[in-house]
Structure 1
């Protein structure tokens, strides 16, 4: 029996020790004694509170496991004690509830569907649960890796090592966190550590779902949703907000606030992400509404920790990520000796909708020069996207009344529109517009690519396919502008009705082989044109536009076509064709000759005595040629007939030259016959003759009576062409054992030789011989080559063709007359690595080689060579009309230095650099410095500025336009 009692006592002691080991501290420690006192005081307080409450108001007390549900106490109950717990106001525990009727519970369990309301009313006898109104609205979860200490006497928790608290959407992390449940305040701090860059290990971190920041110390009240943050940095938009002390108020903790608010003191706003910002806007106080705006009081610019005299009375910085309407305040201040002081890029931005915006900006100078830009961008999902830009510039050069005074007015309109492919199954609309005065870019933009544009082109088109039919309709407007002559050729509108090819004789149900006539195809198109020419400066002039419309050219052109495709001997394709075109004109261009003599005199006077005539120059015009329109309907018909024959030949050669294994050529010869009548004969009436000089009455000049008529002379042509593609095949390399297949590579992508022979001509029946070829060199250089040969000799004085073959006189088939060579390539680091690196080197050596190519970011090279051969003073000479190398690219000299060549060329014939346009930039972390220079146009731009962002107005630009003297 004694042994049994001893074993029971021993087991009890073991269980007691195991229970104590589950605590964080020993049984006899001061903390344990305080905890036991607190538990006893808690039990007494619960009994006292339960006795005061009515029996029907039964509540559930907080459990010992949920420290976050600890009840509040009355501080008066701690009188006479060192630290006693407050008077508890929670209800008694569940064990104090009166027992329920088990029979009623059984009935409730049987009828769980709740259909019997009587049984439910009997079973649901528990009184409603009443919670403390001061309790938290959600559970608090906490954890720590090192240790957790519970101070039940003071109702505090101490979390050590990677401590973390989660309360709803709020999260708090730190090396050490102290939670006071009496005040609902959590205080987070890190541990000093000299090895960390910040000097603190496990820096306190706070997140509320929207805001995330770190600080040296964080105090947060979970009940009021307010907190204090010390020495923190938060990311606001594209910048950073640093402050010594910040008060944080959550919108859920303030009924009058619509969003979270930060009140800061001793703060700095910057876009520099460095630990110690290189610059910033220093202010004594600020208010921040996260995601919306920052408002600062009196501030000054601070650079490298040193204040500057640049001060602001206040600051307002929107930091929203969405688009907002408002003024565009510019600090791009400029000064030009010619234009005076000015401000650039100031204006207004308007958000019209989620799919469209509008921006109006301008550059204004004190001496009258200005430029206004109106821009709009739109994007409608599954419908269309595009942008519109209209600019007007007024440039004043020199002072009024001076010899060099000039007033230049330029404009430019650009518009792009792309319809989404899913917008409509049968209709489409697109636009690409670029029109304006020829000198707009030269007077406003120093860019080489824009300034050197020789033509401006625009097109607007609408097309409609009639589903289920071969018909389609297209309406277009086109514009072509020569910037050298300042003339515009505008075609508007141009309406085209097209019928795709149909086979009218084809059987609907195909039985047996197809007959030859079933292959007869028919197509048709009708085009109505209206075009006119006008100077760019008169486009928006009522008189100028009216005069241009009077000279407009308009016509309707019908183009039916019949063709047939046949096989001859299984290998030869035979394609006979008949082409007919009829053009309707509503006027004819006529010319008449006025034989009246016109004598004009140019009289010059003596310099010493203006009354004495020193010389009289007379100029006589022997008649005048007049051009006029004779209105009426006219039809111009043009038809031709012919047949083409083509086939395909293959040639293969086997070689053993190095790795070259085979060469394969695909040859496509084509021979055709065509006939067309002589439209210059009087039978057709397309041409007219008129006298031009009274001295030569028998000499008549031929002119065209209509805007577009076929060329004169009968044609009975034999056409020929030879198109080839040549490929090579390499054997597998011995060094690469994994390569099983041979490598194919193109030698010539295309080689074409073409010409014709006119049986109907009385002389010079052979045409020139054209040769064109293109290939790809080293897998990265595109090469195009063309040459023209003439089978006839030329006059050594006039270079005109003579009706004598080169073979007859010089014993050669033809003489070379002109040629062209064009090379182009796009080079980047990857292409250089593939070109020069050895695939069989080790990975380490490949990485070392790759670093040497990093200096080149992008390089574009273009070489153009054009030349001709002719007689100059009787000597057969070769002349180069173009011999230029142009390039553009970007180079990274170091981590922070970049050089960009926008355009630079070298003319080998004239031996000079052509229109260089280049610049450099230096990254200064959050600042940048750069310069762009166009020496030929004598313009440059230098700037030092903060990288684009909220503080992008901090910049110093210096510009020189082509109108400035220095």
Structure 2
């Protein structure tokens, strides 16, 4: 700690005597006249001006060359400042003494000496002795702070410029003054150096009570610079893996740009885990975090093979100003499918993380050329289904696009655009190398990966023209041409050597194959306004309808003359019927190919919005009417294909959304209507009767019925919270990280995101917001005539302050139809000033567990904690291979 800021060097040397009212030197008792600012410059030692002042008075003893400063005394020299109620400067013996005084009214000790130098924080003491020639001194009951750590009480003795000796001082992260400090480590003997405190015997003290927890020696790093050190383990027992030492390791502060944390866990039944995390930052360039974890878990009997899992995390973000026009970013989360559910690394009990079904990764680079319409993006992506244990990879994919241009328009055009000058054209292309649904255990088999790699390239050229006619109608026409290039194609055939001749065989044929398709379209739209006026507070309601009519044409690219589709024919043999299957040679390829079927039809859509206008209040000086959105959108759409043989009318879909209560409650809904009649008949299979539904080419309204609702969804969410009293307060562990990253040039938002990486759920507990509620509701309905399916769930999460220092958090999913709580997690937090108490509890389910932890807030003493927990891996019905 910064005791060297309490006792400074070369503070004073000589001073001129102060004079009394008659201009003669004052001797004897302290004068009563107020002192003025004076200064002195030594001819032999001091090279800068020494200034001093006192609010009450000064007195100079010329016989002994001693100066006395009374009442808010202050001495400054260069960048050194000393304030105290009383300062005595003995220029003959080169000594300074400073102290406070007892206030007779409050009986408190006030006016303590306070020193400050350079950019150090102020340091206080009860009294100070200092020899500015030998640079040695004593500080009684020092009190200093640096980086959230405090040294107080006892005695400090300055040995030289770089070392200070301690005796019975209290080292703590509690900011209360001694002796009210909640806890601390009493250093009976120690030496403070530039980068650390080397301690002799030390013991823990809580609320002034010494505990029998002592160490013969220790090292306390000063947090103003990074320092490497050991990370202490957590002790405990796991029912399936045995006793453990968990998360012990070492932290290495390599330099100001990168650090490395390596931790491990061992279990008495043979399981072990190891993980390493690297954080890096280059100011105004980029920042990121990379982590690798490996675990070997043995849940069975001794001698059974261990379950080996791994996980890789990498996040990288670039400063937008680093390379204008180009951006590189990464978000990687990949590994074994059972890692999160099996590894003890989930000690923070993140329920969403443990129960996730998918992992996703993306490494992206994008480039925009200034002054041109071109842009490029390249991506490496990964998607992993944890339930099916399959992996999808794109290695890599890219897009190259040209924004819309008007080739027939001129930059120097004068006057209104001609119709042909409104023609626009653009270009879009994309390519990929991908592997789909690859089994996880085949991922690192190079030959399998190469055989299943699919490569393709796709180009699209859209040409469009938009015009306004008859003032109220918008007309547009478009032409789209799409080109498909694939390096593989398929061939389907039936195995005629089998008894039935109906076994379908699909072969992948290597080699370049191309296909092209085009579409033509035109559309017209307008807006229709309807308004109802009222008297009173509600002034009017306005309904806006936007009908749109479109025509689309596309040839049948499934015609054999194009060569994109073929037919596989089976062998006809009694009693097995003849089979013929049409297929696309581009099925399952990288970019696919044209779809079959001729399309020549009319599409129709109708969008609706409704808003109300409320009269301004009489107290509103602006007298501006208030607009309220009642329905932000309700859209119906369908398509009629004249070229189809039957079922010309497509399904009728609708969707809508709105927000009420000042945009706090969001509502979305939608569904599909089937306009065709469905015949239902019974079929017999064995001894069971099944219902079979078949759509026929007859409209429901021809039978006097409304179109059948086949699916419907509705969802709503609302977020409410009380107003913050004094703003957000982050957990000190996170706040320290934010302060560090802010000092390295990040924005506050970037600093907070970086500091919250790898933190548990208690990292952000805002006691200044008394309550917070997030509710969401979802409803889904499907009907295929023979059966219906309904899901009806509510999700609730939030927190509430029971008292200003107690907070309860909650997360739960409720299945209303089953009347069952599917997921529930509760948290209890207690702010103990310099300590945190955190309780996590999942009361039921296969993830049932609890955790109780009492720990110091400050990150430098993060290993000073007590914990008790029961892992979900101890549950009898827990499946480690989930």
TM-score range, shorter chain: 0.7 to 0.9
1:690 aligned to 562, 569, 572, which one? 569
2:795 to 886, 911, 916: 886
The 5-angstrom pairing of residues 226-625 of structure 1 reads 226-249=136-159, 251=161, 259=162, 261-275=163-177, 276-289=180-193, 292-324=195-227, 326-401=228-303, 407-444=306-343, 445=346, 446-466=349-369, 469-507=372-410, 509-510=412-413, 513-535=416-438, 537-538=440-441, 540-542=443-445, 545-597=446-498, 624-625=503-504
Between stretches 547-556 and 311-320, larger displacement belongs to 547-556
Give 1:904 shift.
Answer: 1.4
Taking only aligned residues, the RMSD between alpha carbons, in angstroms, comes to 3.1
Asked whether 1:933 is paired with 2:841, we answer: yes
Partner of 1:79: none
Q: How far 1:705 moved relative to its partner?
A: 2.1
Deviates more, 1:514-523 or 1:781-790: 514-523
Which structure 2 residues correspond to residues 52-91 of structure 1 after superposition, within 5 A? Answer: none
Matched residues in 2 for 1:399 and 1:227: separation?
66
Mapping for residues 99-118 of structure 1, pairs under 5 Å: none
Distance 1:895 1:30, change over 3 A: closer
Change (3 A) 1:665 1:692: farther
Match of residue 716 from structure 2: 823
Q: TM-score, normalising length from structure 2?
A: 0.83
Judge conservation of contact 1:148–1:159 (CA < 8 Å) in 2: yes
**CA deviation after TM superposition for structure 1 residue 297, in Å:** 0.3
Rounded Cα–Cα distance in structure 1 between residues aligned with 2:38 and 2:606? 92
> 1:330–1:343: 8 Å Cα contact kept in structure 2?
no
Query: Residues of 1 paired with 2:277 and 2:786: CA distance?
Result: 55
Match of 1:664 among 534, 538, 542: 542
Output aligned runs, 1:753-902, within 5 Å.
Answer: 753-779=636-662, 780-796=664-680, 797-812=691-706, 814-830=707-723, 856-872=770-786, 879-880=789-790, 882-901=791-810
Offset of residue 31 of structure 1: 6.5
Report the counterpart of residue 50 of structure 1 in structure 2: none
Map Cα deviations across residues 224-243 of structure 1 (whole Å, 9 max, x no partner): 33221112222243221123
Listed one character per residue, the Cα deviations across residues 129-181 of structure 1 (whole Å, up to 9, x for unaligned) are xx875x65555433333343333333333333223333444333333333333
Note the C-alpha offset of 1:822: 1.1
Q: 2:820 aligns with which of 893, 912, 936?
A: 912
- Structure 1 321/704 Cα, relative in aligned 2: closer, same or farther at 3 Å? same
8 Å Cα contact 1:238-1:949 kept in structure 2: no
Cross-structure match for 2:764: none
Native 8 Å contact 2:657 2:666 kept in 1: yes
Query: Shift in Å at residue 196 of structure 1?
Result: 4.6
Kindly indicate which of the two structures has a greater share of residues assigned to helix.
1
In the alignment, which residue of structure 2 is the partner of 1:216?
Answer: 126
Name the CA distance, whole Å, in 2 between partners of 1:693 and 1:295. 92
Distance change in 2, residues 1:638/1:167 (3 Å): closer
1:681 aligned onto 2:582: no
Q: Kindly indicate whether the alpha-carbon contact (under 8 Å) linking 1:230 and 1:244 is maintained by their aligned counterparts in 2.
A: yes
State the 1:731 CA deviation.
1.0
**Is contact 1:666–1:726 with CA below 8 Å preserved after alignment?**
yes
Q: Following the alignment from structure 2 to structure 1, what is the Cα–Cα distance between the partners of residues 782 and 81? A: 79
Aligned length: 787
- Please give the alpha-carbon distance, in whole angstroms, between the structure 2 residues aligned to 1:629 and 1:443: 38
CA positional deviation for 1:785 = 1.2
SS in 1 for 2:212: strand
Alignment partner, residue 705 of structure 1: 585
Q: Deviations over 1:303-335 (max 9, x none)?
A: 2222222111101011132334x2342233333
Which moves more between the two structures, 385-394 or 306-315?
385-394
3-state SS in 2 of match to 1:397 = coil
Alpha-carbon offset, residue 799 of structure 1 = 4.0
Q: Residues 887, 691 of structure 1: CA spacing in aligned structure 2 closer, same or farther, 3 A cutoff?
A: same
Q: CA deviation at 1:784?
A: 0.7
Deviations along 1:589-647, one digit per CA (max 9) or x if unpaired, are 1122223457xxxxxxxxxxxxxxxxxxxxxx765332212334332222221211122
Aligned counterpart in structure 2 of residue 627 of structure 1, from 479, 494, 506: 506
1:922 alignment partner, one of 830, 836, 842: 830
Give unpaired runs (5+ residues) of structure 2.
1-18, 31-36, 681-690, 727-766, 877-882
Q: 3-state DSSP class of the match of 2:595?
A: coil
The question of whether the paired residues in 1 share the 8 Å contact of 2:39 and 2:52 is answered with: no
Question: Given the alignment, which residue of 90, 114, 133 partners 1:205?
Answer: 114
3-state secondary structure, aligned to 1:564 = strand
**2:83 aligns to what?**
173
* 1:893-949 Cα deviation digits (max 9, x unpaired): 112211122x31111011111221221122222222221122321233221222233
Distance between the aligned counterparts of 2:861 and 2:838, measured in 1? 18
Q: Does 1:729 align with 2:633?
A: no
CA distance in 2, matches of 1:421, 1:539: 39
TM-superposed CA distance for 1:409, in Å, is 2.3
| Contact 1:460-1:476 at 8 Å conserved across structures | yes
Report the alpha carbon displacement of residue 879 of structure 1 after superposing the two structures with TM: 4.1
Secondary structure class of the residue paired with 2:157: strand
Structure of greater Rg: 1
Task: Note the alpha carbon deviations across 1:383-409, whole angstroms, 9 max, x for none.
Answer: 3333322222222213325xxx56322
d(CA) in 2 for partners of 1:195, 1:583: 92
Contact 2:725 2:768 in 1 (8 A): no
CA 700–248 in structure 1, closer or farther in 2 if over 3 Å, else same: same
Distance across 1 between alignment mates of 2:23 and 2:578: 129
Distance 1:536 1:160 in 2: 83
Q: Does structure 2 retain, via aligned residues, the 8 Å contact 1:572–1:647?
A: yes
Taking the aligned partners of 1:487 and 1:723, their CA distance within structure 2 comes to: 41
Picking from 718, 736, 740, the partner of 2:623 is 740
2:754 is matched with which residue? Answer: none
Match of 1:714 in 2: 598
